[in-house]
Structure 1
């Protein structure tokens, strides 16, 4: 029996990737677009799940810890929170499919304060493939949560990026060495 699997495309939004994004990770984020979209296309063709956790904030929220750390970004209802580039086009054409799930999250981890774990377990999905931005922030925290929930973790190295090259490299090593993830080069 084939294991069910899901591809998570984490925070691939205008504010994180576009040149005019409020907190963009620069050229590394844009450089992964084609590889990321290829993984999305492959998962869709195989009938596997494509999950799009999307960072969501309220402007100047005094209760959110990121307000003091980062400039305002991914504000709900703004173009900055929309999916970026070719992924936005793909999603527009596929959003009604049963294997595509997009939702908002309000913390680094795609699991924290969301129904992701329930969504995955109800579909008997145990194997996750991670893509998106930023490698050392939201992708990392999602991987740690997945590890703690006993998911099998895979990370596509060609489809994660960060504005911090050292943090990116450190996170790739951490996925493999501390979380037992399969980092696919």
Structure 2
């Protein structure tokens, strides 16, 4: 096993499916590229962790006070998009209720138990869940690698602003092709 993990952030049906409660076409567009990254990472024995943004049905959640209800457990909206196959033996699936994949989850423990140093991050939304996860990863001293053509939000200007900030302050930003080259050379 390498010292690298792939974090696939919130590629769940409410975000990726046209009938989803908070669907953005950009999320559908990045799915095939994320699938290629997933396949390539599996070729290189990279630990894979899927995040499922998921709120408890009929329970209060502060996050939902100011936003449209979405990703409610039991509705199918919090299910990982079927384009991305989860290996139930090797992969981790972590439910989360906040933007950061670290907040209120056992992500850091899983990463440390597996000797992970580098995080490849893909998914949605660049300005919320990606940014918050990247920031926490930086503070926990992980080496962050965001794949620019495998993250999205509903506004390309906002997407690029956050990728610029991530590159400047928190980690590295690569295209999927650059990432594949790094994996093939054993740099990750």
* TM-score (structure 1 length as normaliser): 0.90
Contact 1:54–1:103 at 8 Å: present in 2 too? yes
In structure 2, which of residues 145, 165, 179 is the aligned counterpart of residue 174 of structure 1? 165
Which residue is 1:47 aligned to?
A: 45
Say which SS state the counterpart of residue 103 (structure 2) adopts: coil
What is the alpha-carbon distance in structure 1 between the residues aligned to residue 72 and residue 5 of structure 2?
Answer: 26
What is the alpha-carbon distance in structure 2 between the residues aligned to residue 128 and residue 111 of structure 1?
Answer: 13
In structure 1, which of residues 60, 63, 67 is the aligned counterpart of residue 64 of structure 2? 67
How much is the aligned-residue C-alpha RMSD, in angstroms?
A: 1.4
Say which SS state the counterpart of residue 67 (structure 2) adopts: coil
Say which SS state the counterpart of residue 81 (structure 1) adopts: coil
What is the alpha-carbon distance in structure 1 between the residues aligned to residue 151 and residue 82 of structure 2?
Answer: 16
What is the alpha-carbon distance in structure 2 between the residues aligned to residue 34 and residue 3 of structure 1?
Answer: 24
Contact 1:59–1:72 at 8 Å: present in 2 too? no
2:17 is equivalent to residue 18 of structure 1 = yes
Q: Which runs of 4+ in 1 moved over 4 A?
A: none
Say which SS state the counterpart of residue 102 (structure 1) adopts: strand
Contact 2:2–2:46 at 8 Å: present in 1 too? no
In structure 2, which of residues 151, 173, 178 is the aligned counterpart of residue 183 of structure 1? 173
Contact 1:176–1:182 at 8 Å: present in 2 too? yes
TM-aligned CA deviation for residue 3 of structure 1: 5.3
TM-aligned CA deviation for residue 61 of structure 1: 3.8
What is the alpha-carbon distance in structure 2 between the residues aligned to residue 60 and residue 165 of structure 1?
Answer: 34
TM-aligned CA deviation for residue 95 of structure 1: 1.8
Aligned positions of 1:83-98 closer than 5 A: 83-87=80-84, 90-91=85-86, 94-97=87-90
5+ residue gaps in structure 2?
Answer: 176-188
5+ residue gaps in structure 1?
Answer: none
CA distances 1:126-148 after superposition (whole Å, capped 9, x unpaired): 10000000111101100000001
What is the alpha-carbon distance in structure 1 between the residues aligned to residue 173 and residue 163 of structure 2?
Answer: 7
In structure 2, which of residues 107, 112, 118 is the aligned counterpart of residue 121 of structure 1? 112
Matched residues, number: 175
Judge which range, 162-171 or 149-158, deviates more.
162-171
2:55 is equivalent to residue 57 of structure 1 = yes
Say which SS state the counterpart of residue 117 (structure 2) adopts: strand
Which residue is 2:130 aligned to?
A: 139
TM-aligned CA deviation for residue 27 of structure 1: 1.6
